[in-house]
Structure 1
Amino acid sequence: MAPLSRAAGEPNPIDVLSYHARLQLLSPRQWMEGSVEITMTPIQMLSTFFLDLVALQVDSVVCRDHALRYRVLSPRLWIEAESSLAPGDTLRFTVFYRGAPGNDGFGGFFYLDEFLFTVGQGIYSTPPSMTRYWLPCHDEPADKAYWSVEIIAPRSVSALSNGKLLKKTEQDAVAVWHWREACPMSTYLMAITAGHLVHFKDQVVSRDGDAIALNFYARSEHESMAKSDWRRTGEMLLLFEKKFGPYPFDSYGMVEVPMRGAMEHQTLTSFSTYLITGNGEYENIVAHELGHQWWGDWVTPADWRDIWLNEGFASYCEALWQEHLHGTQGLQTTMAHFAAEYFLEADRLGAFSLYDPTYLWGATVYEKGAWILHMLRFLLGDFSFFNALQTYANRFGGKNATTSDFARVVSEIYGKDLDWFFQQWVYQPDIPEWRAAWQCETSAPRTYELQLTIEQRQRHGILLTAPLEVEIRLRNRALR
């Protein structure tokens, strides 16, 4: 058979509509056997396309309506139809595969500490979509699809995935857990977890009057600490509904896994064992991951160049939570910390643009991204700023968005073109440098004349437009 492939970098013009997987987890062997039924449609005329798949063996590709040939050239599974497919045609086929799924050290598929779990993003991989390590898929954030899965696992463990548990059946030593997510999602947000877990619940009534189930899963020895650390999740959800609009999904869950950090899988956040302390030390991360359900999961970047639309927004959720708890002082303290973290990174790595960043997982994307929103809030005022966020969520919810899309929404709400703002703060790496001098003279008894000079001096000669707040501190008060 001639190689089924095209030139590297050539587009893969397909739109996957749904995945239905059946996965048998064989943890003693760190092995998986599975199948996935994929329904897709072409975006343009084609006969050859590919799925992303890393280092797993494909046994067959079966289609009832078309003759398909396939060839595995990792990290891709190439498929060729006997006749061309046109836009609007629907192709449904099943891939049968097996092997020992891998990871990049942060994202992918893991067997650790008697746990099996997946993490959808890999910080050591380009691109960072990691579902390709355990599922044949079109592993691009712009291709959202429906997801359901049957997980076959030992009866002694809980097997979890996104969305709602439709049913659980038991036979002999195994159980089959059937999960389905009602809203389309990007593949990097799919997740499975299996392990010895206890399940505890909460519920919150949304602003629309709907009951939203909160499902939490933790190791039995960590249950009390997890209950303490996650107890304010419902309060956070109601705060974010007030700021961003209705919670977009039917339920929300968190599951303890032995990973580093946390990951915002749609409706089921994976949360590190090492972040569960019982004293709320990492409560901001709880807020961050919940915020992703709006920013990243419901509204998803079209590609990884717009990662700040995920992480900058979720980081600002941390600041909003601190403002909720501690008022203006909590907000200012958080933003000052974010600024310090960003300048440390800029000193270490050099300044680079927020759009299409040199490094995706650092303070430029997270903390500077949060500052972009904070500056827009200052520019627009609270009412218009949160109106812009809600409009953005309504317009692009369940879809993909770009920085340009967000900029258009904000400009629309502001009533003026904000291209200048996004060009200098998002698309360019420049950092403003200010010098201030002041002189105060007594012009009359108890009357003072203050002369303040603020000068912007940029290393590269590009002046940035920026409104400034000036605070004058007197003996017993401050003026702004």
Structure 2
Amino acid sequence: MVLSPFDRTLTARMTYSLYPGFPGLGGEVEFDLGEPFEVTDVRGPDGSVPWRRDGETLHVRLPAPGATDDRPVTVTIIYKGRVEPAPEGKGHLDYLGAEGIYLRPDSGWYPQPEGNRALRGVLTVSVPDWWAAAASGRLVGLSASDDSRSFSWAVDPPAELYLAAGPYRTAVLTTARGVTLRTFFYPLGAEHAAAYLREAERMLDFFSEAFGPYPYPNLTLVEVSRFYFGGLSARSLILLDKTSLYDPETEAGPRELLAHEISHQWWGEVVPVREDPEWYLWEGLATYSEALYGEARDGHAELVRQMREKAEVYRPDAVRHPGWSIREANVRTEDWHDSLIYEKGAWVFHMLRFLLGDEVFAGLLRSFALDYAGRQPSSADLARLIAEAARKSPNRAYLESYIARWVDGTETVDFCLKEVAAARRNNGGVVLEFVLEDAGGGSFPQVEVCVTCRDGSTFTFLTRGQGRHSVDLPGRPVRIEIDPAFKVLDLRRGNNLYHGVGGLFVSEETLGRVGLCLAAGLALAAAGLLHRVRRRRAGPVPPAGHRTLVDGSEGRMLT
């Protein structure tokens, strides 16, 4: 394949080996090829063969192999075309110009055998000598001539083909696990290459321990321009938008994006996307993988920060679409990328971890990755894994309907406290009693409650189920918080925090309303006082029908 950036043309000669049993051999074999690309010739084992074009479908007539011949039939498709800048909008990932090129399978830039985009083989791309080209697979060859360079990428096992090329500077690092990491960054972005390589190695190490070994020999990170998404992950290839390319070792945003895309090497590649995908299984898991890596890197506070932030991102959609479930959002293809899939999807796994416990949840994630490698799982498969993991859990009954509640349904949580009272015991301790309610109407089976005493000591305990609870404390409580570590998707947090006020416990939400009322009252009082001061300064009000003249004399108003 030859790329010419200045006239935006792509010229290619793609040769396929079709083995006995391939659909259509001995008749017509069909390939999908984008309409902007013009086929100039199709050749079989013995020269040109009959072919015809019907829109994006290329029909090629090929001979059948001999009855005892197990050798493949080869077909070479020669074509060319212009890759125009795509219009602005969702999902347009195709562009060829002086800034570079990036192409995905959906653009039809290579002939795809009908019903099978995944290919095995070697892709050789020729570019100007100041360019470099990256693709799915691993780099197996690099050659140069007077004014061009050629990059050969081997794809095995079969995968869809993604391609990116441009005026890149490259860097390479071989990890302790033997994985070859490469960056293809523009000159300005190249200053961050070393940081990306180091952070990528740490991420591969973490995810390999959490989800199972990284199965590919290499991983390539490529900077692209005019990119709609922040990033995109393909087989051992990650595209990163240049507007998001900052030092991932010091900047949280680029680090979270990189963790998201690298985790897709498991959630999307090792565990493939279904034909009719349930996107939260991949995007929700990848979004939660950002938080898992953040926790491993920077501690539990980072996990809390990220999950709190994801809840805030999801909140507007929860308000805008209160009747939408994750499944509802999934079938609305124009909205598959929204927060119900990504952020709420991440919360589905975060709450599952809370209900199962860290160790059991970690085992479930690893089983999901290993048991369903190459198998395109569904929500039903995940539900079966959850049921197996929950056999010894006190939350078993709830967990057996977990997917039905949080993926198929619209369950919400809104924890609050009622009838809060603290009484001193004879031994000097205090017993705190309260009623835990879920104003959201759900039945989430557990939540943590943190109590702060007057001396500054804190106590966190797990409450199971709604109803009346009591806890012994060494001193008088002054603050009570429900779910302080953000383990439950409770979007109404104002009634999660209670302050001791004059022997009573008042929620933050109520204090806020009281504060608004006091502020409004003070504002009205101030306005009244100002009005009286102004009247006093203006002197007595003249009788009706009179006006005060400039010199102070009175006169009858004219009518």
Query: Which range, TM-score by smaller chain?
Result: 0.7 to 0.9
The question of whether the paired residues in 2 share the 8 Å contact of 1:262 and 1:270 is answered with: yes
CA distance in 1, matches of 2:157, 2:401: 36
Task: Work out whether 1:343 is the aligned partner of 2:315.
Answer: yes
CA distance in 1, matches of 2:421, 2:321: 44
- Structure with more contact order per residue of length (Cα contacts < 8 Å, sep ≥ 6): 1
| Matching residue within 366, 369, 380 for 2:345 | 369
Deviation at 1:469, TM superposition (A): 0.4
From the superposition, tell whether residues 233 and 75 of structure 1 become closer, same or farther in structure 2 (CA, over 3 Å): same
Q: Give secondary structure in 2 for the equivalent of 1:232.
A: helix
Q: TM-score, normalised on structure 1?
A: 0.80
From the superposition, tell whether residues 198 and 363 of structure 1 become closer, same or farther in structure 2 (CA, over 3 Å): same
Task: Work out whether 1:236 is the aligned partner of 2:203.
Answer: yes
CA distance in 2, matches of 1:112, 1:350: 44
Q: TM-score, normalised on structure 2?
A: 0.69
The question of whether the paired residues in 1 share the 8 Å contact of 2:5 and 2:97 is answered with: no
From the superposition, tell whether residues 92 and 381 of structure 1 become closer, same or farther in structure 2 (CA, over 3 Å): farther
Q: Give secondary structure in 1 for the equivalent of 2:359.
A: helix
The question of whether the paired residues in 1 share the 8 Å contact of 2:83 and 2:96 is answered with: no
CA distance in 1, matches of 2:352, 2:459: 24
Unaligned stretches of 5+ residues in structure 1: 1-22, 121-129, 459-463
CA distance in 1, matches of 2:151, 2:73: 27
- Structure 2 partner of 1:99: 81
The question of whether the paired residues in 1 share the 8 Å contact of 2:132 and 2:149 is answered with: no
| Matching residue within 90, 110, 123 for 2:95 | 110
The question of whether the paired residues in 2 share the 8 Å contact of 1:372 and 1:425 is answered with: yes
Alignment deviations for residues 172-230 of structure 1 (CA, whole Å, 9 cap, x no partner): 32232211023222x2xx22222221111222223xxxx11111121223322343355
| Matching residue within 370, 378, 381 for 1:405 | 381
Q: Give secondary structure in 2 for the equivalent of 1:183.
A: strand
- Structure 1 partner of 2:246: 277
- Structure 1 partner of 2:179: 212
Task: Work out whether 1:436 is the aligned partner of 2:416.
Answer: yes
Comparing 430-439 and 334-343, the one that deviates more: 430-439
Matched AA of 1:164? R
The question of whether the paired residues in 2 share the 8 Å contact of 1:30 and 1:100 is answered with: yes
Question: Which protein shows a greater Rg?
Answer: 2
From the superposition, tell whether residues 250 and 230 of structure 1 become closer, same or farther in structure 2 (CA, over 3 Å): closer
CA distance in 1, matches of 2:260, 2:291: 9
From the superposition, tell whether residues 472 and 97 of structure 1 become closer, same or farther in structure 2 (CA, over 3 Å): same
Deviation at 1:30, TM superposition (A): 0.3
- Structure 1 partner of 2:33: 53
The question of whether the paired residues in 2 share the 8 Å contact of 1:354 and 1:364 is answered with: yes
CA distance in 1, matches of 2:74, 2:459: 68
The question of whether the paired residues in 2 share the 8 Å contact of 1:214 and 1:252 is answered with: yes
Q: Give secondary structure in 1 for the equivalent of 2:296.
A: helix
The question of whether the paired residues in 2 share the 8 Å contact of 1:230 and 1:286 is answered with: no
From the superposition, tell whether residues 115 and 311 of structure 1 become closer, same or farther in structure 2 (CA, over 3 Å): same
- Structure 2 partner of 1:448: 431
- Structure 2 partner of 1:247: 214
- Structure 2 partner of 1:123: none
Matched AA of 1:423? A
- Structure 2 partner of 1:17: none
- Structure 1 partner of 2:173: 202
Matched AA of 2:291? A
The question of whether the paired residues in 1 share the 8 Å contact of 2:5 and 2:98 is answered with: no
The question of whether the paired residues in 2 share the 8 Å contact of 1:354 and 1:369 is answered with: yes
Matched AA of 1:62? R
Percentage of identical aligned residues: 22
Deviation at 1:31, TM superposition (A): 0.8
- Structure 2 partner of 1:192: 163
- Structure 1 partner of 2:452: 474
From the superposition, tell whether residues 380 and 435 of structure 1 become closer, same or farther in structure 2 (CA, over 3 Å): closer
Deviation at 1:471, TM superposition (A): 0.9
Q: Give secondary structure in 2 for the equivalent of 1:111.
A: strand
Comparing 193-202 and 437-446, the one that deviates more: 437-446
- Structure 2 partner of 1:4: none
CA distance in 2, matches of 1:66, 1:347: 63
From the superposition, tell whether residues 377 and 91 of structure 1 become closer, same or farther in structure 2 (CA, over 3 Å): farther
Task: Work out whether 1:133 is the aligned partner of 2:105.
Answer: no
CA distance in 2, matches of 1:40, 1:371: 45
CA distance in 2, matches of 1:197, 1:444: 71
Task: Work out whether 1:320 is the aligned partner of 2:289.
Answer: no
Unaligned stretches of 5+ residues in structure 2: 462-559
From the superposition, tell whether residues 453 and 309 of structure 1 become closer, same or farther in structure 2 (CA, over 3 Å): closer
From the superposition, tell whether residues 68 and 389 of structure 1 become closer, same or farther in structure 2 (CA, over 3 Å): farther
The question of whether the paired residues in 1 share the 8 Å contact of 2:270 and 2:373 is answered with: yes
Deviation at 1:44, TM superposition (A): 7.6
Q: Give secondary structure in 2 for the equivalent of 1:364.
A: coil
Q: Give secondary structure in 1 for the equivalent of 2:246.
A: coil
CA distance in 1, matches of 2:400, 2:52: 46
Q: Give secondary structure in 2 for the equivalent of 1:474.
A: strand
- Structure 2 partner of 1:153: 127
Comparing 58-67 and 271-280, the one that deviates more: 58-67
From the superposition, tell whether residues 166 and 82 of structure 1 become closer, same or farther in structure 2 (CA, over 3 Å): closer
Q: Give secondary structure in 2 for the equivalent of 1:135.
A: coil
| Matching residue within 156, 162, 177 for 1:182 | 156
CA distance in 2, matches of 1:231, 1:441: 53
Q: Give secondary structure in 2 for the equivalent of 1:199.
A: strand
Alignment deviations for residues 24-64 of structure 1 (CA, whole Å, 9 cap, x no partner): 11222101111323345768889666433322222334333
Q: What's the RMSD between the two structures over aligned residues?
A: 3.3
CA distance in 2, matches of 1:284, 1:391: 24
From the superposition, tell whether residues 442 and 408 of structure 1 become closer, same or farther in structure 2 (CA, over 3 Å): closer
- Structure 2 partner of 1:331: 303
Deviation at 1:367, TM superposition (A): 0.9
